[in-house]
Amino acid sequence: MTQSSGPRKHGTLYVEVRLNEGCSIRSETIRANVEKWLVSHHRDIKVGATQEFSYSLASPSETAQAIERIHVSGHSLSKSFPDQTLYLVSESYLDIALYSLLSDTEHDSQPEEDKDEGDKSPSHRFTDLPLPYRSFDGLWESLVFKDPIGELILRSIVRATKDRQHSGMNWSTRPWQNTVLLHGPPGSGKTTLAQALAQRLSIRLSNIFPTSRLLEVKSRALLSRYFGESSKEVGELFESISCMAENDEQLVIVLIDEVESIAGCRTKASKANEVGDAIRSTNEVLRGLDRFRERTNVVFCCTTNLLADVDSAFVDRCYIETPVNIPAADCIFEILRADLNNLIQCGKLGCEKLGYDGRHIEMPPIIHCNDLSSTLQSTQTFDLFSKTPIYIPDLTWASIHWPKGATTVVSELHKIATLGKGLSGRKLRALVTQTLYMYTVEEPCDLQAFLIALESVIRAKVGIPLREAEAEDSSTAASEQATDNDEHNTETMAFLSKLEADNHMDVSDD
């Protein structure tokens, strides 16, 4: 972390610098040039801003060639998320993290066809991935929760890690915050959050741990039909983790999905007269966790759909225990908005207008699809086949800039989001994909027609039929859209009408 003389500093600004492949410049040189550039070209800056380190502004040009992008990912004083505060660069410490995205080509794993039930290599117990992992890029930005649970967990682990590294605090009586338990219904985003958290930690802590690994434990593979083998497998798993953790400069993050498989409730197992191997497996997990109480470079992140089936002693050892719930209506809106904006960016959707009742509305700013907040960049008007598409703004922007009560893309999408309450984020994204491939034929498909189809699909899924007045309005809108398109669109809208009719009949029969 850079600490220079000058104005009094207030908190730390976290800056992430993604490097191009094959960068050979010394890290210290890049950090120094990035800090110099940020201070000289930015008086203040907002969390979430992505900067282009251009040749015209950067000196020397070798540094600019090495950098893919600069992203301001957070501030230690943030009190709300997303954080809209403008922070003075000169009054913040700059924590500049350098990283490159990695793939698993370097991971020497045993081919599946060479493995058998007697395989005792570590690869049959977990998948070993390098971090930051290329396939996880963008996961963090895609997460939408009512509360900023990801940001709070990230802050907690980062602060605890740095304190253990640098402070003179007595840790002999303080629990190390390296065990996280995420629990909630299926599809609520627990595993995605865990993977995204691992990615963020590997970048945020890269100045302490130059390398990071994610071990995704195959819980089911640890279970054996042979007496005594399951607990032995769990013990060998923790032995493998211990060997990797011997490198103090490497961060090891262990993800255990469905942790109840290997850390089940011993009381329930005893009452059900289950075999003692399940109890021994849980005991082995508890002993394994205790081995890593003093290990600053190991973090365990576990998930479960069945919290009541997890042993209470295991839960007690998870110092960060967080429920992950099914998204509420506003969260569903943001999930759908992000998905639709991605489809717009890919050219699958397009639109000529965002207002549907004839009232004049201000065109929204162009936004980055990987950022759920609207970034004011331009207010130009574009048509359906424009090279620069129109994106869907967020609720806050629309409520400020558009007439109250207007029928717009935002009001229609929010109505659909309200219908989808109770559906998981995973299911919602699946329904968007289903709507795209089943019920549209044109590319780009008109956004208004897509919303009509999406509403029908979600209504069918949750069992809410259209009321007659709504059905008439939808039918009118569908007819107008079909008039403008070819016979394929006409067939699509007819199919949707049939879908509504069938769904109405199903509900009536119930």
**57-97 pLDDT, tens digit each:** 445 578 888 999 999 999 999 988 888 889 999 999 999 99
Residues 208 and 280 in one domain: yes
If you average pLDDT over residues 361-372, what whole number do you get? 61
Question: What is the domain range of residue 83?
Answer: 12-99
Is the pLDDT reported for residue 174 higher than 50?
yes
Say whether pLDDT at 499 is over 50.
yes
Question: Which comes out higher in pLDDT, residue 209 or 372?
Answer: 209
User: 251 with 282, same domain?
Assistant: yes
Residue ranges of alpha helices (H) inside 229-328 are: 229-244, 266-271, 276-291, 312-317
CA–CA dist 199, 253 (Å, integer): 10
pLDDT of residue 115: 46
The answer to whether 276 touches 231, Cβ cutoff 8 Å, is: no
Total Cβ atoms within 10 A of residue 50: 15
Looking at the structure, tell me whether residues 411 and 449 fall in a common domain.
yes
The pair of structure tokens assigned to 152 is 């709070």
| The total number of structural domains that make up the chain | 3
Q: Does residue 381 lie in a domain region? A: no
User: Both 82 and 137 in a single domain?
Assistant: no
- Hunting for tokens 């009094």 — which residue is that? 8
pLDDT in tens, 17-31: 999 988 888 999 999
Buried/exposed 11-29: b ≥16 CB within 10 Å, e otherwise? ebbbbbbbbeeebebebee
Using CB atoms within 10 Å of the CB of residue 366, give its burial: 0 to 12 exposed, 13 to 18 middle, 19+ buried.
middle
pLDDT in tens, 315-350: 999 999 999 999 999 999 999 999 999 999 899 999
- Annotate 94-121 with b (16+ C-beta within 10 A) or e (fewer): bbbbbbebbeeeeeeeeeeeeeeeeeee
Closest CA to 265 of 306, 303, 217, 305: 306
Structural contact between residues 187 and 426, judged by C-beta atoms closer than 8 angstroms: yes
290 and 346 assigned to the same domain? no
Per-residue pLDDT, 278: 83
CA distance 245 to 250: 7
Is residue 305 located within the same domain as residue 441?
A: no
Cα–Cα distance between 115 and 117 in angstroms, integer?
Answer: 7
CB 154 within 8 A of CB 197: yes
Residues 88, 213 within the same domain: no
Q: What are phi and psi of 361, to 5 degrees?
A: -130, 150
Residue 411's pLDDT band (cuts 50, 70, 90): very high
Statement to judge: residues 191 and 310 lie in one domain: yes
pLDDT digits (tens, 9 = 90+) for 102-112: 987 654 444 44
Task: Please state, for a pLDDT cut of 70, what percent of the chain lies above it.
Answer: 77
How does pLDDT run across 229-275, given as a tens digit for each residue?
A: 888 999 999 999 999 999 999 999 999 999 999 999 988 877 766 66
Q: pLDDT tens for residues 421-479?
A: 999 999 999 999 999 999 999 889 999 999 999 999 999 999 998 764 455 455 554 45
Angle CA 440–442–447, to nearest 5: 70
> 239 and 314 share a domain?
yes
* Residue 342 sits in the same domain as residue 308: no
